[in-house]
């Protein structure tokens, strides 16, 4: 009788483990979706590119907002502490100080904040601000900045 109970308990435990794994997979999948990003002319390498140039447009598939932000910050060669997020119409904008070599293109003072990237799909202002705060709190920096240090 105890062998049959042990077999039943093992079967119930296996079903519970499978359900728990499925619940974790569902929760993980719920956090990832396509995230669309458009780099502005203030982004490094985008100064002379037309607005429809594919190098200025990115879509991150199956990534969290934080993962898409890390990739975008790496492209921009910015640390999360050097940027902020704001809402501009229906887009969430990643703001940072204008690079010194671009000051002559905009009539602004050194340190003026300009949009470097627009998250046009898949990332809300709250999600982007949370991701920036998390990355800043962990001291994350793009590898290009780490190599320069």
Q: How far apart are CA 50 and CA 41, in angstroms?
A: 9
pLDDT, position 5 = 65
**Tens-place pLDDT, residues 64-104:** 999 999 999 999 999 999 999 999 988 899 999 887 777 76
What proportion of the chain, given as a percentage, has pLDDT over 90? 48
DSSP string, 28-54: HHHT-EEEEEEE-TTSTT-TT--TT-G
- Per the CB < 8 A criterion, the answer to whether 118 and 68 are in contact is no
The pTM of this model reads 0.72
Contacts of 140-147 with C-beta under 8 Å, sequence gap 24+, read 140/70, 140/79, 140/80, 141/79, 141/80, 142/70, 142/73, 142/74, 142/76, 142/77, 142/78, 142/79, 143/74, 144/74, 144/77, 145/77, 145/78, 145/79
What is the tens place of the pLDDT at every residue in 98-143?
877 777 666 667 678 889 999 999 999 999 999 999 999 999 988 7
What is the token pair recorded at 48?
């002379």
Write 49-54 long-range contacts (CB < 8 A, 24+).
none
Structure tokens at 16: 């519970």
- Per-domain boundaries in the chain: 1-30, 32-148
């Amino acid at each position: 009788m105890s062998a049959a109970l042990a077999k039943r308990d093992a079967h119930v435990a296996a079903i519970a483990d499978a359900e728990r794994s499925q619940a974790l997979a569902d929760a993980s999948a719920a956090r990832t979706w396509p995230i669309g990003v458009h780099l502005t002319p203030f982004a490094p390498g985008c100064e002379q590119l037309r607005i429809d140039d594919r190098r200025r447009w990115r879509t991150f598939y199956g990534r969290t907002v934080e993962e898409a932000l890390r990739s975008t910050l790496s492209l921009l060669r910015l640390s999360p502490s050097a940027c902020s997020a704001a809402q501009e119409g229906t887009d969430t904008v990643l703001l940072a100080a204008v690079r010194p070599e671009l000051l002559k293109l905009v009539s602004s003072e050194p340190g003026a904040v300009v949009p470097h990237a627009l998250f046009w799909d898949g990332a809300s202002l709250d999600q982007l601000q949370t991701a920036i705060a998390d990355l800043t709190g962990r001291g994350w920096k793009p590898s290009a900045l780490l190599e320069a240090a």
